[in-house]
């Protein structure tokens, strides 16, 4: 996996709360990415088994809005993302405060 | 909110047209996903004034169009249909979503090319001069490019591959332009999607 700038931003958003459900527009806003970059990236991550998706259950109180598709890191995805982010060069723009943080909880990081 | 309705209709049409590029088994799901995202954008109260939501929705659609092109390349290459070879394959029949645009672009490009050729030939009528030879070289190069593209493509639209190749060869600028505008499906995945690489 080659950690590009946009990929790094998406992974940071996803890793910040690995249990959280994100839908596409949510990720676009949080990672400040256009849809043309985000969806192919998510598809690639999903193909590699790092991200999985599920459909929102239709609730009667949703006000008739269509169900959303939610994305979330898999366990493997969370592990790989932390590893990659920890390895990311510290000097990459304003997000350097996270890069200085030691990678936490990486069993079997020798892979 | 009065201005959102036409925008929403337009955006939904754009998304549907983008989904037409996707492999058939992904189309319905992506359409549902992206339509839901569109609703989320148009209902986003944090975007003010409300016309900003419409703008954002259209920007979203432009991105979706790019994303669909990339996703169709990402999809695992479908095996060639039986009996298809480098020059014979079943023509892919898909709905002409943006056919009007393709035809308009094709005619426009053709008009520009013809105007250019006429301009060159009227100012330099000598058939042995370099402008003439340059035109011939460009024609041959363009034909070669189109043939190479047809040979590489896994599928083409409307006509079988050999027919497109014949048209490209016999109608030099027009046939190639027609193929690129109408018959071309988009790039085929050049490399099979790699397996998950471990860091």
More confident residue, B27 or A2: B27
Q: Which two tokens stand for residue B133?
A: 């030879």
- How high is the pLDDT of residue B146? 92
What pLDDT, on a 0 to 100 scale, did the predictor assign at position B99?
74
Query: Taking the C-alpha atoms of B19, B22, B26 and B28 in order, what is their torsion angle to the nearest 10 degrees?
Result: 20
CA distances from A9 to A104, B41, B155 (A): 18, 21, 36
| Tens digit of each residue's pLDDT (9 = 90 or more) over B30-41 | 999 999 999 889
Mean pLDDT score, B163-170? 90
pLDDT 10s digits, B130-157: 888 888 899 999 999 999 988 888 778 8
Task: In chain A, count H helices and then E strands.
Answer: 5, 3
Residues B52, B178: Cα–Cα separation, whole Å: 38
Q: Name the residue facing B193 among A47, A68, A83 (closest C-beta).
A: A47
Provide φ and ψ at A85, rounded to 5°. -70, -35
Closest B-chain CA to A23: B37
Secondary structure letter of residue B196 according to DSSP? P
pTM score above 0.95: no
Task: Map tokens 């994305």 to a residue.
Answer: A71
* Shortest CA distance from B35: residue in chain A: A66
What pLDDT does residue A58 have?
77
Contacts with B26 (C-beta within 8 Å, 6 or more apart), sequence order: B71, B75
Top residue of A22, A27, A37, A40 to mutate, by most chain B CBs within 10 Å, is A40
Q: What's the confidence (pLDDT) of residue A1? A: 65
Q: What is the pLDDT of residue B199?
A: 41
Largest CA distance in chain A: 49
Q: What stretches of B19-101 adopt beta strand conformation (E)?
A: none
- For residue B157, the SS3 value is strand
Size of interface A-B (CB pairs under 8 A): 78
Q: What is the pLDDT of residues A25-82, one digit of tens each?
A: 989 988 888 998 999 999 999 998 999 999 988 777 667 788 899 999 998 988 998 8
Query: Cβ B36–A50 below 8 Å, yes or no?
Result: no
Q: What is the ipTM of this complex?
A: 0.74
């Amino acid at each position: 996996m080659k950690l590009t700038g946009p990929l790094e931003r998406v992974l940071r958003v996803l890793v910040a709360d690995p249990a959280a459900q994100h839908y596409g527009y949510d990720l676009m806003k949080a990672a400040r990415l256009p849809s043309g970059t985000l969806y192919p990236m998510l598809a690639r991550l999903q193909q590699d088994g790092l991200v999985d998706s599920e459909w929102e259950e239709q609730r009667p109180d949703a006000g008739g809005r269509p169900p959303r598709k939610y994305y979330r890191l898999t366990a493997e995805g969370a592990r790989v993302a932390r590893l990659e982010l920890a390895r990311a060069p510290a000097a990459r723009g304003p997000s350097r405060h996270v890069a200085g943080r030691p990678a936490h909880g990486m069993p079997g990081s020798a892979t | 909110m009065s201005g959102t309705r036409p925008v929403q209709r337009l955006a939904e049409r754009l998304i549907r047209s983008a989904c037409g590029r996707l492999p058939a088994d992904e189309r319905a799901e992506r359409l549902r996903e992206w339509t839901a995202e569109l609703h989320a954008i148009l209902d986003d109260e944090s975007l003010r004034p409300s016309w900003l939501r419409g703008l954002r929705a259209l920007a979203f659609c432009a991105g979706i169009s790019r994303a669909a092109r990339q996703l169709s390349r990402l999809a695992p290459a479908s095996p060639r249909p039986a009996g298809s070879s480098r020059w014979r394959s079943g023509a892919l029949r898909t709905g002409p979503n943006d056919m009007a645009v393709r035809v308009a672009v094709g005619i426009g490009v053709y008009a520009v090319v013809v105007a250019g050729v006429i301009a060159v030939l009227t100012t330099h009528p000598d058939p042995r001069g370099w402008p003439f030879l340059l035109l011939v070289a460009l024609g041959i190069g363009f034909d070669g490019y189109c043939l190479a593209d047809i040979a590489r493509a896994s599928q083409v639209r409307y006509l079988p591959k050999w027919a497109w190749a014949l048209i490209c060869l016999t109608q030099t600028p027009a046939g190639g332009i027609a193929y690129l505008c109408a018959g071309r499906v988009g790039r085929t995945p050049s490399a099979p999607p790699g397996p998950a690489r471990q860091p």
